[in-house]
């Protein structure tokens, strides 16, 4: 077994132990911090998976929330309708084995369906590049959201209540570990070479016989799989889903993680996700003190104003983000007419 895999298993074991021994204590005494911890985990998965598409493969996707929505609603519907049978079959509602296995099935299903959606988005997307791709992915994200809004089975505008709050530290951080492992593993393999070539110079890659289609679609599918997992974790933690919760602004949130962290740097985006999840809570705490003059409080609390300024300033001053590699960002298009 490779060393990386061993490390993964060790880390998963640590997660499991923390969860078994500490979970209830943390969840009940420190519910607020617990919430933040789980949210960090979910955001890290979203960021790391989007980084695979945006950062490593250079395909600018603005529809990541759509895949998260597919995963969230899939796992919620599954849990709502089929869990009673599965849990009953496996040992009854009191058995942690039964509920956890049921949740695992639910999560995997969420990931797979989201992956299928990723495939459906990836295939037409291979025809377009750059700016168009951004709009197409935005469009797909919106189409997914509008479809959910018009589907009565999943609650439409009423929203969907999720039975069973199965998300815990083990599942969350276990998924984080698996996600990071898979992403890093792919990137450091021959597939990774493929992704990077597509990012750096798609025309040259095609000219050299590399099947850019395969790599682009693979990146989309893997990323959306994990977005689906993140969605499942979210659904079973917040216990209520609405289509509005997976709109364009949610996608923008994740994009900001990736840009701030540095496209192409997994550790960077992980850190960025952690920072930007904690930041609003810090701001919330600040708003109750006298530190910030009331006139500016509204500005600080308006996350999107800060994020948008952050994006602009980052692009103007430090486009590689906090941890990205400046050399790895190369021109992907030449202007027709030469320059």
Partner 1 sequence: MGRFFLVIVIGLAWNCCARAGVKIGAVTCLTGALSTFGVSSVQGAKLAAEEINSNGGVLGAPVELIVEDNGSKAGEAATIARKFISQDKVAAILGDLTSSATMEAAPLAQAAKIPILTPSATNVAITQIGDYVFRSCFIDPFTGKVMARFALDHLGAKRAILLTDIKQDYSVGVSDALRLYFTENGGQIIGSISYSSGDTDFRTQLTEVRSRHPDVIFLPAYYTEAALILRQARQLGINTPFVGGEGWDSPALVRVAGKSADGNYYTNHFSASDPSDRVKAFVEKYRAKYHSTPDALAALWYDGARLLFLAVKKAGSSDCAKIRDALASTRDFDGVTGIISIDQNRNASKPGVILTIQDGETKMVQRVMP
Partner 2 sequence: MDRLLEIVQQLVNGVSLGSIYALIALGYTMVYGVLRFINFAHGDIYMLGAYSGFLLAPFFSHFFRFGEFDTFTPQNTLFILSGAGLIMVLSMAICAVIGVLIERIAYRPLRQRPRLNVLITAIGVSLFLQNITQYRLGADPKAFPQLIPVHVVEGLGNLTILTSQLAIIVATILLLFFLRLIVMRTKMGMAMRALSLNPTACSLMGVNNDVVISFTFALGSALAAAAGILVSMDSPSINPLMGNLPGIKAFVAAVLGGIGNIPGAALGGLIIGILETLVVAIGFPQWRDGIAFAVLIVILLFKPTGLLGKPEREKV
DSSP string, 34-93: HHHHHHHHHHHHHHHHHHIIIIIS------HHHHHHHHHHHHHHHHHHHHHHHHHHHT-T
Q: Which span sits near partner 1 by CB under 8 A: 32-40, 45-53, 180-188, 313-321?
A: 32-40
Q: Which span sits near partner 2 by CB under 8 A: 4-12, 97-105, 111-119, 197-205?
A: 197-205
CB atoms within 10 A of CB 240: 12
Q: Which C-beta is closer to partner 1: that of 244 or that of 325?
A: 244
d(CA 337, CA 339): 7
Closest CA to 211 of 234, 190, 182, 186: 190
- Which residues have C-beta within 8 Å of that of residue 42, sequence separation ≥ 6? 172, 230, 233, 234, 237
Among 238, 292, 314, 322, binds partner 1 (CB under 8 A): 238
Q: Which span sits near partner 1 by CB under 8 A: 11-19, 26-34, 121-129, 210-218?
A: 26-34
d(CA 148, CA 127): 26
Q: Mask 135-154, x = binds partner 1 (CB under 8 A)?
A: --------------xx----
d(CA 205, CA 212): 7
Q: Does 336 bind partner 2 (CB under 8 A)?
A: yes
DSSP-based three-state secondary structure for 241 = strand
Q: Does 153 bind partner 2 (CB under 8 A)?
A: no
Choose among partner 2, partner 1, none what residue 31 binds, the Cβ cut-off being 5 to 8 Å by kind: partner 1
When computed from its CA atoms, the radius of gyration of the chain, rounded to whole angstroms, is: 20
By the criterion CB under 8 A, which residues form the site for partner 1?
A: 28-36, 39, 149-150, 156-159, 161, 234, 237-242, 244-246, 249, 281, 284, 288, 298, 301-303
By the criterion CB under 8 A, which residues form the site for partner 2?
A: 58, 60, 62, 124, 127-128, 130-132, 134-136, 138-140, 142-143, 146, 149-150, 201, 203-204, 248, 252, 255, 259, 298-299, 302, 304-305, 307-312, 315-316, 319, 329-339
């Amino acid at each position: 077994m490779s060393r990386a895999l061993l490390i993964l298993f060790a880390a998963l074991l640590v997660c499991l132990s923390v969860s078994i021994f500490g979970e209830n204590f943390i969840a009940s005494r420190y519910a607020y911090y617990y919430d933040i911890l789980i949210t960090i985990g979910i955001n890290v998965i979203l960021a790391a998976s989007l980084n695979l598409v945006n950062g490593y493969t250079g395909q600018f996707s603005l529809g990541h929330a759509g895949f998260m929505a597919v995963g969230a609603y899939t796992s919620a519907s599954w849990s709502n309708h089929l869990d009673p049978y599965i849990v009953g079959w496996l040992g009854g509602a009191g058995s942690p084995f039964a509920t956890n296995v049921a949740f695992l099935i639910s999560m995997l299903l969420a990931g797979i369906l989201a992956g299928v959606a990723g495939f459906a988005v990836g295939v037409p997307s291979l025809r377009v590049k750059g700016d168009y791709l951004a709009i197409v992915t935005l469009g797909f994200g919106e189409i997914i959201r509008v479809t959910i809004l018009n589907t009565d089975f999943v609650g439409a505008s009423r929203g969907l209540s999720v039975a069973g709050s199965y998300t815990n530290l083990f599942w969350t951080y276990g998924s984080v570990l698996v996600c990071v492992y898979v992403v890093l593993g792919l990137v450091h393999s021959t597939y990774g070479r493929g992704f990077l070539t597509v990012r750096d110079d798609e025309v040259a890659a095609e000219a050299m016989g590399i099947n850019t289609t395969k790599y682009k679609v693979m990146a989309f599918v893997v990323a959306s799989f994990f977005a689906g997992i993140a969605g499942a974790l979210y659904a079973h933690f917040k216990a209520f889903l609405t289509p509005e919760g997976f709109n364009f602004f949610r996608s923008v949130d994740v994009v900001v993680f990736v840009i701030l962290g540095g496209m192409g740097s997994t550790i960077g985006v992980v850190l960025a996700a952690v920072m930007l999840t904690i930041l609003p809570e810090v701001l919330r705490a600040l708003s109750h003190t006298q530190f910030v003059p009331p006139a500016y409080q509204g500005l600080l609390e308006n996350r999107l104003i800060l994020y948008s300024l952050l994006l602009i300033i980052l692009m103007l001053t430090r486009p590689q983000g906090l941890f990205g590699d400046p050399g790895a960002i190369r021109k992907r298009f030449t202007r027709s007419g030469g320059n």
